[in-house]
Amino acid sequence: MPILAQQTAAEPLAQVAPYLFFAFAGVVCLSAWALVFSQNIVRMAVYLLLTLGGVAGLYFMLNAEFLAAIQLIVYVGGTLILIVFGVMLTSKNPFLQLRVKGWEVLLGVGVGLAIMGLLVFALISTDLSRRSRLVAGGYEHVALIGKALLSAYLVPFEVAAVLLLVVMIGAAFMARKRARQ
C-alpha cells in the first residue's frame, strides 16, 4: 500500500515539488521531440543539452542527488562536449543539413509513436499502485553507493574500469591521423 505521509509545515517546498516535476518533465519531453524534428545538428546538440539537464532534474526529484550530479558532470559536461567536438570535426560548413525525405520522417516518427503508444498501453494497463512502497531512510545513500561499488558491485565496477581503459585506447587508435606512406 502506498504510504503517503501528511504534509507538514516544516516542508514548504513540498508544495512546489509537483510544479517542479511538471517543469522538468515538460523540458524533457518538449526538447526531446524538438530534437526529432530539427534538421540542424548544432540545434540538436542544444536540445540534447536541455533534455539531459531536465533528466538530471528528474533525478533530483527522485532523491538520486548523486546520480543527478553524475548526470550533469558526465553527460552534460563530458558526452555532450564530445558530441559537439564530433560535429565540429565532421562538417565542412557549420550549417550542414542533410535533407531527409518527408515519407522517411513520417515513417520514423510513426514507428516511434507506435512504440510509445505500446508502452503507454502497457503502463496504463499495469497496476503500479500496489507496488508503491515508500520507506524513509537517512541521507546516507551517497555513502551507500560508495560502499556498494566496493562490495556488491565490485566486479561490475572493475569491468567498467577495464572497459573505459579499452575504450580510451581504442578510440584514440581509431581516430588518429593515418601516417603517410
Partner 1 sequence: MNPLFSIDLHHFLFVSTILVGAGIATVLTKRNAIGILIGVELVLNAAGVNFVAFNRYAWGGGPPSPLMAIGEPGQPVTPLIDGQMFAIFIIVLAAAEAAVALAIFLNFYNNFSSIDVEKADELRG
- Cβ-count burial of 93 within 10 angstroms (0-12 exposed, 13-18 middle, 19+ buried)? exposed
d(CA 16, CA 22): 10
Applying CB under 8 A, the site for partner 1 has a residue count of 102
Per CB under 8 A, the list member of 94, 109, 154, 158 interacting with partner 1 is 109
Minimum separation from the CB atom of position 56 to partner 1 (A): 10
Contact pattern from residue 27 through residue 66 relative to partner 1, giving x for each residue in contact according to CB under 8 A and a dash for the rest: -xx--xx-xx----x--xx--x--xx--x--xxxxxxx-x
**Least separation in angstroms between CB 137 and partner 1:** 4
Name the packing angle between helices 141-150 and 154-175 (round to 10°): 80
* Residue 132 makes contact with partner 1 by CB under 8 A: yes
Q: How far is the CB of 180 from partner 1 (least distance, A)?
A: 13
Residues 68-87 binding partner 1 (CB under 8 A) are 70-71, 74-75, 78-79, 82-83, 85-87
Indicate whether 171 belongs to the interface with partner 1 (CB under 8 A): yes
Closest CA to 79 of 53, 114, 116, 113: 53
Q: Is 23 in the site for partner 1 (CB under 8 A)?
A: no
**Among positions 23, 50, 151, 153, the unique one binding partner 1 when judged by CB under 8 A:** 153
Q: For residue 125, give the DSSP letter.
A: T
List the grid coordinates of 73: 558532470
Nearest to 53 by CA among 35, 72, 38, 39: 72
Tell me which of 178, 179, 180, 181 binds partner 1, using CB under 8 A: 178
Query: Would you state the cell numbers that stand for residue 49, as one nine-digit string?
Result: 543539452
Instruction: Report in angstroms how near the CB of residue 94 gets to partner 1 at its nearest.
Output: 13
Under the binding rule (CB under 8 A), the answer on residue 180 touching partner 1 is: no
57, 84 contact by CB (below 8 A): no
Q: Running DSSP on this structure, what letter comes out for residue 132? A: -
